[in-house]
Structure 1
Amino acid sequence: MTMNRWAIPLLMLAFVAFYLLPLGTHGLWIPDETRYAQIGQQILIDGNWVTPHFMDLRYFEKPIAGYWMIAIGQAIFGENLFGVRIASALATGLSVLLTYLVARRLWNDPRKSVACALVYMTFGLIAGQAGYSNLDPQFTFWVNLSIVALWFAVDSRTVRERTISWAVLGFACGMGFMTKGFLAFLLPVLIALPYMVWQKRFLEMVKYGLLAMLVAALVSLPWVLAVHAQEPDYWRFFFWHEHIRRFAGEDAQHGRPWWFYLPLLVISSLPWAALLPVTFKDAWHNRRNAKVVFVLLWMLLPLALFSLSKGKLPTYIMPCMLPLALLLGYALMQRVEHAQTGALRTNALVNVLLAGVALAALIYFQIKTPFYDNEPLHMTLLVIVLLTWIVAGAVQLWRPLTLWAAPALSMGVLVLLLPAAMPSSVVHNKMPDQFVLEHLQELAPATSLLSNDLGAASALAWRLRRPDVTLYNTQGEVKYGLTYDDAQGKSIGLAEVGPWLTAARLKGPVGVVMRVKSSDESHEMDMLPKDAKRYDEGNMVILIFPQSAP
C-alpha cells in the first residue's frame, strides 16, 4: 500500500465522513445561514437569477454567483439543510484538491502533497466553514484556483500550458468577482506583480494578463450588464458600501485592530498550530527559493491587506490558509523524513493540554453553572470530541513519525460531532428554523407573517417557502431594500403593529415569530394582543393569532 496510490481515496473518504455527513445534523445558524438559504430559495421561487432578493427586498450586499450555487444545491438536493450547505462543502473539497495538485507541482513529492492537503482540510477555520452556508468557502475556492493557476502559468514549460493557465486564472477571477466582488481581481495581482517583477518577467505578465482579463470579462460582463439594466443603482451601492466603506470607512462594519488576524491565524491553524514556528523557520531558511517566495507572497500580502482593512471578520483570511498549509505540510514532512520528533511531539502535547483543559472546564462549569440541562447525549458527544483530541495527541506523542497525521482525526471528529453536541440553549436561540419546523403545521395556514428579528424572519420564510414576512421594528441589513416604493408595508414600527395586526387578522390567521431577549424586545412583545396561541423555546416565541370576525 503506497501513499501515492491511496492518498486521493483516503482524502475523499475523509471528505465524505467529516464534511458531508454532518450537513443535515443541525439547524441553520442565524443570521448568516438562514439569510443565504432564503436568498437561494427566493431565486428558485421567483426565477430571477440576476438580482439578489432577501425576503422580497433588494439585497445588493453581494453579487449573484454565490447565491446561484446555494440555489442550485437546493434545486438538486431539496430545500433542506443538506441542499443549503452542499455548496460550501463542495467548494472546500475542491480547495483541498487544489492544495494537493499545487503541492505536487511545488514540492514534487507525493508524501508532502498528501500532508499539505490533509493539513488544509483539517485546519480549524477551513473545516468549520465547510459545513456552514455562507459565501466565504466559495470565494476562497475561486481565489485559490486563480493563484494556483498563476503558479502553473509561472511554472509552465510550453506556450499552450501557459495560455491555458492564464485563461483559468481569468475564469476564476470572473467567478470570484461574481461571488464576492472586486477583491477577486486584486488578490492575484497583489501576488503576481511583485513576483513577476522580481523574476524579470513583467512583460510576460502584462501579455498574458490581458488574456486573463478578457476571459474574466467574458465570464462576468453578461451579468454585470444584466443587473445594471434591471437595477441601475446596484453598482453604486455595492461598490461604495461593500468596498470603500468596509475597507476604509470609520463606520465600517466589524471594526477590529490591525493585529486582529495574527492570533486568529494561530487559532485557525489548530490542530497544527504548534508547528507554525518550525514552518516559518523553514520558510525563512529557504527565502531565496523562488517557490517558497511565491508561497510566502501568497500568504503574507493578502494577510497584510486584510489587516489594513477597517472591517474584519475571521473568515476573511481563509484565502491565506492554503499557502500556509503548503508551508506547514512541507515542514511537517521534512521532520518526519529526517526523524526530527521535537516539533511533532510539541504539537501533540499542545493538543492534549488544550483538550484536557477544555474537558476540565466542562466538568467544572457543568457542576457550577451547567451548560447542559439534563442533556446526557449532547454532553456525551462533546466529551467524545475532547477525548478524541486527547487520544490523538497521545498517539502522536507515542509514535510521532508514523502517526504524524493523528491530529487530522481529532479535527474530523470535532466537525462531525460538535454540531450535534450543542446545548439545547444554543440550538433554541441560534437555530430558530428547528423551532419553526416543529410548529410548521400551526404556521402554515397563516395568511400573514410577522417577525422582529431578521434571522428568525428568514428562518420562517425559508421553512414556509414564503418570503412575504413583515418585519416588526427591525431593519438592519435590509434598510436599503426598504427604501424602494414596492417595499412599502414590508416593515412596521411599534405604533403601527396594532392596526397592522387588526387588518391582517381580518384576512386570516397570523403567524408571528418573536425573539425576546432584551428589554426592547420584551416591549415589542408587550405591544401584541394576548389572545394568541403561544409556544416558547429559549429566546424564541411563536404566536398564532386566530382570524378575527369581520
Structure 2
Amino acid sequence: MPRIHTYYPTDLQELSPRILWAFLTAALFTAFFYNLHGVPLFDLDEGAFSEATRDMLARGDFIATYLYGEPRYDKPILIYWLQALSVSAFGLNELALRLPSALAATGWMLLIFAFVQRVCDRHTALAAAIIGATSLGVIIIGKAAIADAALHLFIVGAMFAIYLHFKEGGVRWVYLAFLCMGLGFLTKGPVAVVIPLAVSLIFYGLKGEWRSWLRAAFNPLGIMLFLLIVLPWYLAITWREGPGFLMGFFLEHNLGRFQAPMHGHAGPFYFYLPVLLVALLPYTTVLIRTLWEVRESFREDLHGYLLTWFLFVLVLFSAAGTKLPHYIFYGITPLFILMALHLDRVRSRFWLFLPPALLFAGLLALPHLVDLIKPHLDDPFILALLTDHHVHFGPLWHAFFVIALAACLFFMLDRRIQRGYRLFLIGLTLNVGVAGLLLPAVAGVQQSPIRDAGLAARDLPETVVMWRLNNPSFSIYANRGVERRMPEPGEVAVTKEDSLARLEHHHYEVLHARNGVILVRILEAP
C-alpha cells in the first residue's frame, strides 16, 4: 500500500534510526519496568485489583472475584487471570502484580510503532512510540496493577486493524479486530466494542463505505470468534452469580457510570481538556500546535481516522456523568501519532520547553508547597500522613529536579542538538523522575503506613477487620482477607488513629501505629 508521509519539511527524517531506537528502548524500560517493585501498591484501584487476585488464588476460584468478602462486579476476569499467572510465577509482590500491565503497555507502544511504520515511515513510527512512552499520563497508568494498560492494548489493536482493513482490504484485519475486541471485552467490558464500532461506523460513513463497514461488522466468522472468547466466562459467571452480576456489571458499572456521577466523580463538560494538557507533558505545546493544524488535513484518510477516533472519545466521555482522568486515554493513542506527524511544526524553542520546565519547577517546589498547605488542613488523618513527609523529599529530589529544570532552560537556548533529541531527552528525564522519585514519594506518604500495618498483621492469629478505612492493599501485605465492619472483642482492627474515640466502651491494645494508621486488638470486657 502507498505510504503516507508528513506534509512538511521535517528535521525528524534527519535523526538517526539507531539513536531513536535507543531512545525507545530506554523509554519503554524507564516508563514501565524501572522501579516496578519499589513502590507500594496505591489504593484504591491497585489495591482492589490486587486483593481480588490474591483472594482468587487463595480460594482457588477462577470464575468470580471478591473484595472484602463481597462479590466484585466492577470488571471482567482477564486482568485477574493475568495477575494470578504472574503471582504464581513470581510470588505475591508489587512486581508480579504490575508486570502484566507493564508488558501490555510495552505491547501498546510497539503496536503504535508497527502500525505507523506500515502506514507512514520508520522515523515517524519511532517518534510516535517514544512520545507515547514518555508522556506523563502513560508513565503513571502504564505500570499500574489495574486493567487499563491491557484494555488500551486491545482497543488500539482493534482500531489499527480496522484502519488497515479500510486501506488494504483483506478479511484477516476483520478477524484481528474481532479478536482484540473480544479480549478487550473480557478485560473491561463494552467500552472495548463501543469505541471501535462507533468510530469505524462514523469514518466509513464519511467515506461513503457503508457496505464495506456492514460486511466487516457482521462478518459471521468474526462474530463467532468474538463470542468464542467472551461467552464462556460471561455464561459461567452469570450461571453462578445470577442476575446480580448482570445488574452490577452492565447496569451499574457501565450504563450507570455514563448516566450519573458515581462515587462523586463528576466534572464539567470541559473536564478532559486540562487533563490532556497535563497527561501529555512534556509534549503539551506539540499537542496544541497539532490540534490547531490537523483540521487542515482532516480529509486525508489517516488524519481523518485518527481525529475521528480522538473526537469520539472526547465527546462521549465529556457527556458521561462519571468523569475520571484515565477515560480520555481511550482516545490518546491517535494524538501520539498526530503529534509525531506534526512534531517539527513547533519552531519556538521557548514554547516547546516551557511546559516541562514549569512541571519540573512545580515538582522542585512540591515539598515546600506541602509545608504551606499543611497549616490550612483540618483533616487529622491527612495531617498524620504528612507527619514526616520531608523524609521522602530529600537532597536527591532537589538535585534531580534542579538539573531537569536547568536542562529545559538550556534546551531553550541551544541550537546544536537536534530538537527531537532534546525533547526526547526531557521525556526520558521525566520517566526517571516519576518512576524513581515522584511515585515513591507519594506512595511513601500515602501508602507506606498501610503497607506497614499489613505486614504487622501478617502473622496474627486473630480475625482482622478493617474499620473506617478503604485500603484493600492492606490485605496484600497482610496476605489475608479482611472484612470492612465494626470490630468485635477478640478481633484485631486496622483503622485511623483519630477513629479510636468511636470505639466507645471497648478496651483495646495498640499493636502497631504509624502516621495515623493504627492496628489494635479489641479486648474482652473485664
TM-score (norm 1): 0.83
Rounded to whole Å, the distance in 1 between the matches of 2:510 and 2:390 is 28
1: distance between equivalents of 2:469 and 2:225? 38
1:464 and 2:478 aligned = yes
Kindly provide the CA deviation profile for residues 275-309 of structure 1, in whole angstroms up to 9, marking residues without a partner as x. Answer: 22221133122122111000101111111101110
Counterpart residue number, 1:378: 393
1:525-540 equivalent positions in 2, closer than 5 A = 525-530=503-508, 532-540=509-517
SS at match of 2:33: helix
Kept after mapping to 2: 8 A contact 1:428/1:435: no
* Alpha-carbon distance in structure 1 between the residues aligned to 2:315 and 2:38: 37
Aligned to 1:131: 143
Report the AA paired with residue 352 of structure 2.
N
In structure 1, distance between residues paired with 2:450 and 2:387: 21
Task: Determine the C-alpha separation between the residues in 2 that align with 1:374 and 1:117.
Answer: 35
1:348 matched to 2:360? The reply is no
Q: What CA distance in whole angstroms lies between the structure 2 residues aligned with 1:193 and 1:47? A: 42
Q: Deviations over 1:432-485 (max 9, x none)?
A: 442135524xx41323111114533x3332223322x23224xxxxxxxxxxxx
Give the 3-state SS of the residue equivalent to 1:535 in structure 2.
strand
Measure the CA separation in 1 of the matches of 2:140 and 2:190.
25
- From 274, 278, 287, the equivalent of 2:298 is 287
Contact 1:115 1:329 in 2 (8 A): yes
1:192 aligns with 2:192: no
- 1:32 aligns to 2:45 (yes or no): yes
Q: How many residues align?
A: 496
| Secondary structure at 1:514 match in 2 | strand
Give the distance between the partners of 1:11 and 1:228, measured in 2 at CA.
43
The higher-RCO structure (CA 8 Å, 6+ apart) is 2
CA separation of 1:182/1:421 partners in 2, compared to 1, >3 Å: closer, same or farther? closer
2:430 pairs with 1:416: no
**8 Å Cα contact 2:466/2:494 also seen in 1:** yes
What's the CA shift for 1:411?
A: 1.7
| Residues 31 and 133 in structure 2, CA contact (< 8 A), matched pair in contact too | no
Find 1:260's aligned residue among 241, 264, 271.
Answer: 271
Structure 2 counterpart of 1:511: 492
- What amino acid is the match of 2:393? H
User: In the alignment, what sits opposite 1:223?
Assistant: 233
State how far apart, in whole Å, the 1-side matches of 2:187 and 2:337 are. Answer: 25
The residue that corresponds to 2:9 in the other structure is none
Secondary structure at 2:293's aligned position in 1? helix
User: How far, CA to CA, are the matches of 2:31 and 2:258 in structure 1?
Assistant: 34
From the superposition, tell whether residues 120 and 438 of structure 1 become closer, same or farther in structure 2 (CA, over 3 Å).
same
Q: Deviations over 1:316-347 (max 9, x none)?
A: 11111111111111111x44xxxx631x4312
Q: Name the structure 2 match of 1:492.
A: none
What is aligned with 2:281?
Answer: 270
Q: Determine the structure 2 residue equivalent to 1:430.
A: 447
Q: Deviations over 1:113-167 (max 9, x none)?
A: 111111111111111112322222222221111111111222225xxxx222111
For 2:152 and 2:192, the matched residues in 1 are separated by 9
Relative to structure 1, the CA distance from residue 301 to residue 366 in structure 2 (aligned partners, 3 Å threshold; closer, same or farther) is same
Gaps of at least 5 residues in structure 1 are 474-496
Aligned-residue RMSD, C-alpha: 2.7
- 1:163-182 matched pairs, under 5 angstroms: 163-182=171-190
Matches of 2:15 and 2:240, distance apart in 1: 56
Give SS of 1:447's match: coil
Aligned to 2:383: none
Query: 1:450 maps to which residue?
Result: 465
**From 121, 124, 132, the counterpart of 1:109:** 121
Map residues 57-76 of structure 1 onto 2, 5 A cutoff: 57-76=70-89
How many Å apart are 1:389 and its aligned residue?
A: 3.1
Q: Which moved more, 1:229-238 or 1:388-397?
A: 388-397
Q: Pick one of 430, 437, 456 that aligns with 1:439.
A: 456
SS in 2 for 1:316: helix
Partner of 1:300: 311
AA partner of residue 439 (structure 1): A
Letter in 2 for 1:224: Y
Contact 1:174 1:219 in 2 (8 A): yes
Deviations 1:403-427 (A, max 9, x none): 232221232122222246516xx63
Deviation (angstroms), 1:247:
0.6
Alpha-carbon displacement from aligned partner over 1:248-291 (angstroms, at most 9, x marks no partner): 13667512221111111111111110222221133122122111
The alpha carbon displacement at 1:524 in A equals 3.2
Residue 393 in structure 1 maps to residue 408 in structure 2:
yes
Distance 1:46 1:213, change over 3 A: same
Residue 93 (str. 1) matches residue 106 (str. 2): yes
SS at match of 1:29: coil
Identify the residue that residue 133 of structure 2 maps to in structure 1. Answer: 121
Maintained 8 Å contact 1:170/1:216: yes
Q: CA deviation at 1:97?
A: 0.8
2:502 aligns with one of 510, 513, 524: 524
Relative distance call for 1:207 and 1:258 in structure 2 (3 A) is same
- 1:85–1:133: 8 Å Cα contact kept in structure 2? yes
Secondary structure (helix, strand or coil) at the match of 1:439 reads helix
Unaligned runs of 5+ in 2: 1-13, 376-385
Find the aligned partners of 1:269 and 1:513 in 2 and give their Cα distance.
38
Tell me if structure 2 keeps the 8 A contact 1:178–1:220: yes
Whether the 8 Å contact between 2:143 and 2:149 is mirrored in structure 1 is no
1:146 to 151, 158, 164: 158
Q: Is the 8 A contact 1:142 1:176 kept in 2?
A: yes
Alignment of 1:311-390 (within 5 A): 311-332=322-343, 334-335=344-345, 341-342=347-348, 344-360=349-365, 362-363=367-368, 366=371, 373=388, 375=390, 378-390=393-405
Provide closer, same or farther for how the CA distance between residues 374 and 39 of structure 1 changes in structure 2, counting only shifts above 3 A.
closer
CA distance in 1, matches of 2:359, 2:438: 19
Q: Which residue of 2 aligns with 1:483?
A: none
- SS across alignment from 1:22: coil
Q: Are the counterparts in 2 of residues 103 and 113 from structure 1 also a CA contact under 8 Å? A: yes
- SS of 2:34's partner is helix
Distance across 1 between alignment mates of 2:408 and 2:485: 50
Q: Secondary structure at the match of 2:61?
A: coil
Q: Which moved more, 1:351-360 or 1:31-40?
A: 351-360
